[in-house]
Amino acid sequence: MFIQTEETPNPATLKFLPGQPVLPGKNLEFLSLEEASSSPLAQILFKIDGVIGVFLSEDFISITKDGSREWALMKPSLLGAIMEHFTAKRPIVLEAQTGGDSESDDQKMTK
């Protein structure tokens, strides 16, 4: 698995493209570990020092870091966590918590 990274207009946010679907048809944004309870992937990423935001989209993951951290020090851990998660075929979000009205769930998470 090869994960590409792209810079964004915000230097504190980096885009990770795993080359396979992440969250088809949905977007979810998490701003804390507590908010990420429905996403095992986001939970793992929040446990890496410096991560303050995770955005999951159809084909990419955007991660926002706090200003005191350097991407050069964080990227190896982030890439490893993403690669391990996808290689193990773990769920991106838990189905039981995403059932029901997904549109309102998306709106809540992205506000």
pLDDT at 1: 78
> Which strands form 13-17's sheet, in the order they lie side by side?
4-7, 13-17, 61-65, 51-56, 28-30
Structure tokens at 23: 């969250």
Backbone CA torsion sign across 45, 46, 47, 51: positive
State how far the Cα of 42 lies from the Cα of 105, in Å rounded to an integer: 16
**How much of the chain is in helix, strand and coil states, percent to nearest 5?**
35, 20, 40
Structure tokens at 3: 């994960």
Structural domains of the chain, with CATH:
4-93 (3.30.1370.70)
Per residue of the chain (111 residues), give pLDDT as tens. 799 999 999 999 999 999 999 999 999 999 999 999 999 999 999 999 999 999 999 999 999 999 899 999 999 999 999 999 999 999 999 976 444 444 444 444 444
pLDDT at 95: 78
State how far the Cα of 6 lies from the Cα of 18, in Å rounded to an integer: 11
